[in-house]
Structure 1
Amino acid sequence: MKEYKLRYGTNPHQSPARIFCRDGELPVKILNGKPGYINFLDALNSWQLVSE
């Protein structure tokens, strides 16, 4: 199971969060730094939109 460490949860005042991927890789690549939870959701939703 792949684990991605995030800078924080939904809001900046929350503690760091993690996302787990059970099978394979996620369709996004982190280029610089650690994204927040909302940044990751934006990237995943954008990927679904352009891959249709």
Structure 2
Amino acid sequence: MSRKGNCFDNAVMENFFGHLKEELFHHVRFLSTDALETALHEYISWYNTERI
């Protein structure tokens, strides 16, 4: 359960979103929401199977 003011509760998600922003969003400009959605699905699949 996430507690207010406790940074350790959210550390895993903060880490994931930091990687997501650096590895995906800072290098690509998406022309449509469909392209963004596809890229997110591919990134999450890659992150969960190959990156870890």
Q: TM-score, normalised by structure 2?
A: 0.40
- Structure whose residues are more often helix by fraction: 2
Higher relative contact order (CA 8 A, sep 6+): 1
Q: TM-score, normalised by structure 1?
A: 0.40
- Structure whose residues are more often strand by fraction: 1
User: For the pair shown, which has the larger CA radius of gyration, 1 or 2?
Assistant: 2
